[in-house]
Structure 1
Amino acid sequence: MSNPTLASQEDVVEALGRALTSEEVTRVVAMLTKASELFRLRSGQLFTPGTSTVRLKVNAGTVRLPQSPVTSVESVVDDCGAVIPFTRFDQVLTLHRLSHEFVRVSYSHGSDDVPDLVKVTVAEIAARVLRIDPRAAAGVTQRSTTTGPFTEAETFSAYSVGGQLLLSPDDVAIANSFRAPRTSGTIVMRA
């Protein structure tokens, strides 16, 4: 089962400032799917409701769960399968374990409401692809036209050449802002 998109067709229409053409309507779902997954990969967050089981190293008696918001913690066990008591504050679990030990945590996370900044950014990624100049989509990196003493030159951005759906530098910065804070020695392994 794939994850739901982080923005809707209506969000793309709003970002474009106009209605979609019939050709754009056929492309927009695939574009939103790809843009959502690229944003998830870069941010390290799912944003929508889900469950995860991760193996984490205990540091100073705590572990930080990578997905947010955490809605519930189903279980915390050590590598031998023994249940570990814990207390939770937001994404941080406090355990009475040694700092070099590992625990496996099963938990639920996410929200039905995707953050507005995420929704707008993913919609804008799709809208940007729809606005790409057809010449750039065909692979042209720059062009110039000279008429008499006048010259007109155009250079297309690297992420628009070929009409590919890619994260721009600004999109990467926004996605990075949602990454879970790193703590020294934290090891996350998906189960």
Structure 2
Amino acid sequence: MDGQATDKLHLWPAEFTWPIGLALDIGNVLMIAVTSVAVYVAWRTWSHEKEKDRNEFIKLRQQELNARKLEQESSSKRLYMDYMLLSFNNPKFSVGRYDDKDEVEVARYDTYLSIVFWSLDEYLQTENDKFCEYVLEGEATTHYEYVRKWLHKEMAAEGYRDGYSAKFLNILDRTIKKIEDDKQRDEAQSPEQ
């Protein structure tokens, strides 16, 4: 209020000024209450929208993860199917037989194993299961001489292990070590000594 209005209140008799002062105080309290309610409503609306956006984000993220999982499962099955077809179409190579004096056949065997191992390595990256490890151990056992010569950590030439995942190489190394330990144990137990 400006100074003149306050001065005019003093001109009124005292019994009339207290209701006006009370009304002004109540008006101030109501204005604070209305402002507080408006701020609370705005905050609730904002937080509700934020929660709604968060829930929408979580829902979209879950859908994305589900789609990615389905894609990985499909990719894993396709990789394994390609591996099976390759083995079916190359039965000699799949059991480790080839003519080591025929350069073309050696190159085809090398290519066959490269495809097999790259496929199994990729499968390990998309599907983390014991089945794939079991298949890889079987392939490493079947193709022991090749794996030991070209991919085992103690024998591989420079660059031959590059590009394979650490998990894949660990499984190969562990399998080769197990085969060599079994051979040493068998030799130690052999009666030919």
For Structure 1 versus Structure 2, the TM-score category normalised by the shorter chain is under 0.3
Q: Report the TM-score, using the length of structure 2 for normalisation.
A: 0.23
Give the TM-score taking structure 1 as reference length. 0.23
Q: Determine which structure has the larger helix proportion and give its number.
A: 2
**Which has the greater radius of gyration?**
2
